[in-house]
Structure 1
Amino acid sequence: MRIIDHFVAGGGLAPATRPDVGRWGDVFDPNLGEVQARVPLGDAAVLEAAVQAALGAQPAWAATNPQRRARVMFRFKELVEQNIDALAHMLSVEHGKVLADSKGDIQRGLEVIEFACGIPHLLKGEYTQGAGPGIDVCSMRTPLGIGAGITPFNFPAMIPMWMFGVAIACGNAFILKPSERDPSVPVRLAELMLEAGAPEGILQVVHGDKEMVDAILDHPAIKAVSFVGSSDIAHYVYRRGVEAGKRVQAMGGAKNHGIVMPDADLDQVVADLAGAAFGSAGERCMALPVVVPVGDKTADALRSKLIPAIAALRVGVSTDTGAHYGPVVNAAHKQRVENWIRTGVDEGAELVVDGRGFTLQGHEKGFFIGPTLFDRVTPDMSAYKEEIFGPVLQIVRAPDFETAVRLPSQHQYGNGVAIFTRNGHAAREFAARVEVGMVGINVPIPVPVAYHSFGGWKRSGFGDHNQHGMEGVRFWTRVKTVTQRWPDGPSPERGAEDGAAARVQDAFVIPTMG
């Protein structure tokens, strides 16, 4: 049985070669429904070994000039690109997403690494000459020390790189706790970072469940925590981390809406929905699981086009290059999604296409779910209120534009939203009024580019800083402001004794800047 060990510097841990000792998690092959590896579920002792290694490495790394740190990021980017095929295969056979999605997962992470390569410019502070008589003021961004990331199963490459890329470039050490469901890629990324020239202890990986999460949130040497996962856990992480005096950004769940105006190009909308709702088996926080056509005429036309498009989707094993999407991550998640489909039926929604019971020949034990379509879903249904996180698309009919704005604005989640229209005024009005953190206009998955920031509102995001972009730089650093004066010495008109007395007197006066 393959063992996926912790990646902790300095030999602080014995190799995890005894699956009969301690607590362990199973890593499945979602295509076959079989265990392919095991991962140790670490505790506070494992974390302490990683923290001690980080404490030893971080001061010298912070003292390394930003240009040299940038060179490590450039080299890391090159190594990931050279290994992208192997990384994508590793990701697909543990997560279940098809190879094209796995490469996209890695590429979107690399875009943040590219952003982090510009860290010499990003860390430039502010300077004011002559803020007062002979007084200059400057500010500088300094690293926090040790940061930590707790990442979900659905993007095991992208989200870790979103976090550690900026944190490490800013001069911090970083401890990553990835999902125990698909931990191989995060470990491999840490190995590549070491190969790129980062010192041992700057990027480490520890595995675990709630026990490890609590140890991270409680450890006094860890100054900041970034989290992505479900909203209930995000709220827990935020609250416990803040109570422990940490800086915390915690991204939660989502229920993203796609508004379809009567003037929209329905063929393009259907093509976009096929990827946005069903791609990666719907296991994306930026998926588009709710479509809101405005007016029954629009809804009927959209539905008639969606049905054949869904029938044409090909569900296959994650290494099948012709498949549109693969299995979900494990049996428990498959059961959860199917339970939500049953709940939708019980609540009175019209089940147009039922993906339950889907099997693939030769992979009958795999965690596959066929594409599912509901119509006439209403806002009072729990299947609408909650995140399903599977290949399920719901049609919620809106009689008018005002209702279409109100639906996502009043939802408990506020991660992303999209509007499909040819009308510039309607798009502008919608973007200005909707209460959601990320808006797409004729863009079904509005994930911002790396030099902007990612983050939702309401129960989709807890904390004051978003992921990556300058928001990420601000999160992983703190500002130090220096006010300085360089006196010229005694005045020529006064003797040394008078000058010394004047300097003592001046020391009791706070300099004015005006």
Structure 2
Amino acid sequence: MILAELMEQAGLPKGVLNVVHGTIAPVKFICEEPRIKAISFVGGDRAGQYIYETGSKNGKRVQANLGAKNHCILMPDANRNFALNSIVGAAFGAAGQRCMALSTLVAVGDSQEWIDGLVERAKGLKVGNGFDPETEVGPLITPAAKERVEKLIQTCTDQGGKILLDGRGVKVDGYPQGNFVGPTILEATTDMDCYTQEIFGPVLTIVKAATLDDAIKVINSNPYGNGASMFTQSGATARKFEKEVEAGQVGINVPIPVPLPMFSWSGNKGSVLGGASLYGPRGIDFWTQLKTTTSYWSSQDALSAKATTAMPTHN
């Protein structure tokens, strides 16, 4: 809404940008209204599947960015402080409420000894009002979101995992009913709910792996394919990861591998439907209807009055 207000203040003509609040009714309208030719969606699996199937059935061009489970492999040869600081920022920035948030850390070999340092850094983040410049972790968007995140945290211990840092019950002065969950770090296995489900909150799940091959297998076995990162100082290790990992957006010593706007967005697997990029040159093509004109101008009439059924060609 703030962006829409700024666009209006900047002089954008009325009707060019429209913001409509709602749930089922406006979505149904957008999917069925014949004047709407293309739909771009970012959100959860259930809504995305409906929009893709219904919009496509009505002859619309549809792209949908669905759920995500973004991974980061931490190698023992990484620059320790740089890697840990980057991972904490990527996991807990925006309270984890962004589709490219880092939600799973795959700690390989001796890098597992750095987990305590990761926990200490996360403890130091300030939870508070999102408009406070000193706040590093703001509130979740709704009470329902807070309840869902806290339930998923609880499933970790219920299913045999460990809560290394528990952000439930955090209090922020002046906001007794605030939707706050502090930075949370879980140690789990890939069959637990806290790993299989997209949490969309300030929760980092750690999965341990003995080798790089094991770590890559964890990522490639996941149904989502939005982004995957790695921290290492080895070029050969990075190249192997880049080549073998099944994620559309790959980061090497970059925790949130969103490409620059001039490059196309490249998520894959269960994270995308429609196959079209959200931005970059291919993203512009999605919103473009191509038109081809073939013309021929002759300075004289045909020499014969006999018609021909051959494909017309001209030198």
Query: 2:273 — aligned with what?
Result: 462
2:4–2:17 Cα contact (<8 Å) kept = no
Is the aligned partner of 1:438 residue 2:257? no
1:465–1:475 Cα contact (<8 Å) kept = yes
Superposed CA offset, 1:445-470 (max 9, x none): 11111111224212211102011111
Query: 2:28 — aligned with what?
Result: 214
Count residues in correspondence.
315
Is the aligned partner of 1:423 residue 2:234? yes
In the alignment, which of 282, 286, 298 is matched to residue 100 of structure 2? 286
In the alignment, which of 109, 127, 145 is matched to residue 333 of structure 1? 145
SS at match of 2:291: strand
Gaps of 5+ in 2: none
Q: 1:201: Cα distance to partner?
A: 2.6
Is the aligned partner of 1:509 residue 2:310? yes
What pairs with 1:228-377 in structure 2 (closer than 5 Å)? 228-295=42-109, 297-300=110-113, 302-375=114-187, 377=188
1:190–1:205 Cα contact (<8 Å) kept = no
Give the ranges of 4+ consecutive aligned residues of structure 1 lying more than 6 Å apart after TM superposition. Answer: none
2:69–2:225 Cα contact (<8 Å) kept = yes
Superposed CA offset, 1:237-284 (max 9, x none): 101110111000011111100011121112111100111001111111
Superposed CA offset, 1:212-249 (max 9, x none): 10111011111111111112211111011101110000
Query: 1:406 — aligned with what?
Result: 217
Q: 1:397: Cα distance to partner?
A: 0.5
1:251–1:455 Cα contact (<8 Å) kept = no
Q: 1:476: Cα distance to partner?
A: 0.4
2:92–2:183 Cα contact (<8 Å) kept = yes
Superposed CA offset, 1:355-391 (max 9, x none): 111111222211111111112x111112101100111
CA distance in 2, matches of 1:283, 1:229: 11
Indicate how the Cα distance of structure 1 residues 429 and 322 shifts in structure 2: closer, same or farther if over 3 A, else same.
Answer: same
SS at match of 2:137: coil
Indicate how the Cα distance of structure 1 residues 511 and 342 shifts in structure 2: closer, same or farther if over 3 A, else same.
Answer: same
CA distance in 1, matches of 2:126, 2:231: 25
Query: 2:8 — aligned with what?
Result: 191
CA distance in 2, matches of 1:304, 1:342: 21
CA distance in 2, matches of 1:293, 1:512: 64
Gaps of 5+ in 1: 1-183, 491-497
Is the aligned partner of 1:385 residue 2:189? no
Identity of aligned residues (%): 42
CA distance in 2, matches of 1:436, 1:413: 8
Q: AA paired with 1:298?
A: S
CA distance in 2, matches of 1:365, 1:485: 72
Please report the TM-score for the alignment, with normalisation by the length of structure 1. Answer: 0.59
SS at match of 1:409: helix
Query: 1:499 — aligned with what?
Result: 303
CA distance in 2, matches of 1:513, 1:436: 48
Q: AA paired with 1:362?
A: G
Query: 1:482 — aligned with what?
Result: 293
CA distance in 2, matches of 1:408, 1:233: 24
2:70–2:101 Cα contact (<8 Å) kept = yes
CA distance in 2, matches of 1:459, 1:289: 16
1:316–1:327 Cα contact (<8 Å) kept = yes
What pairs with 1:87-126 in structure 2 (closer than 5 Å)? none
1:385–1:412 Cα contact (<8 Å) kept = no
RMSD over aligned CA atoms reads 1.8
